[in-house]
């Protein structure tokens, strides 16, 4: 998600009602885990701290790739490559040329369920990585948010259907399953980045 100088999310401070219960929809399995040789080559291609090329929606080949459904990662079996990928994704999203508040692995050419989110709701506003994230609860209350995307040049728009609060389940690097309630602008970043893992771009919500 692209950095927006003035956070324009309209956040209503009120009680949030989280509806329904559910379970983690993305489960790890043998099928679909592990990096391909081509992915490993791309991840290891340069220094571990160097930015990666960000795919662009106005490029035909890139735009097709950005619409793919990403496969899960295995945090244990793929640990070394995962750590390199996360390091390079952070270098990319914090690079002055591609500064943003979040990034998903498909944006750097890796069709895996990995995202980085800047936690504006935490002290120091750190970037944190989430593996196999899935939203299992959405608040009925919505929020408006002006969004942009590192992969969508020249377009910004105000989405009106982002939930104010969400419950996100994910795996950590030790393959523990975790869950967390996220609210406000940070919840929009999670929704935006998890959309990327399912081939959805923010302007799909503007229609
Ligand atoms: Zn994006």
Give 124-160 pLDDT, tens digit per residue.
999 999 999 999 999 999 999 999 999 999 999 999 9
Distance 167 CA to ligand 1 centre (A): 20
Q: For residue 129, what pLDDT is reported? A: 97
DSSP helix/strand/coil, 166: strand
Q: For domain 37-206, which architecture applies? A: Alpha-Beta Complex (3.90)
Nearest of 132, 119, 118 to residue 169 by alpha carbon: 132
- So which residues are the catalytic ones? 193
Distance 151 CA to ligand 1 centre (A): 6
pLDDT tens across 24-41, in order? Answer: 444 444 445 689 999 999
- Per-residue model confidence (pLDDT) at position 73: 95
Q: Where are the domains of the chain?
A: 37-206
Low-confidence residues of the chain: pLDDT under 70: 4-33
Distance 195 CA to ligand 1 centre (A): 8
What's the gap in Å between 91 CA and the centre of ligand 1? 16
CB-based contact 160:142 (threshold 8 Å): yes
Residue 2 is predicted with a pLDDT of: 80
């Amino acid at each position: 998600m692209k950095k927006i100088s003035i956070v324009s999310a309209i956040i209503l401070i009120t009680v949030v009602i989280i509806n329904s219960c559910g379970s983690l929809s993305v489960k790890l399995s043998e099928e679909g885990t592990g990096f391909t040789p081509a992915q490993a080559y791309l991840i290891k291609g340069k220094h571990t701290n160097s930015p990666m090329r960000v795919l662009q929606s106005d490029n035909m080949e890139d735009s097709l790739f950005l619409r793919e459904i990403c496969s899960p990662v295995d945090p244990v079996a793929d640990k070394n490559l995962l750590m390199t990928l996360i390091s390079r994704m952070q270098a990319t999203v914090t690079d002055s040329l591609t500064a943003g508040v979040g990034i998903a692995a498909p944006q750097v050419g890796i069709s895996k369920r990995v995202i980085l989110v800047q936690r504006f709701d935490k002290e120091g506003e750190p970037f944190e990585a989430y593996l196999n994230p899935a939203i299992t609860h959405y608040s009925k209350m919505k929020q408006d948010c002006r969004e942009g995307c590192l992969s969508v040049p020249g377009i910004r728009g105000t989405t009106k259907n982002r939930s104010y609060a969400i419950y996100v389940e994910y795996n950590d690097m030790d393959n523990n399953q975790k869950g967390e309630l996220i609210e406000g602008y940070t919840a929009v970043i999670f929704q935006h980045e998890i959309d990327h893992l399912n081939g959805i771009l923010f302007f799909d919500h503007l229609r």
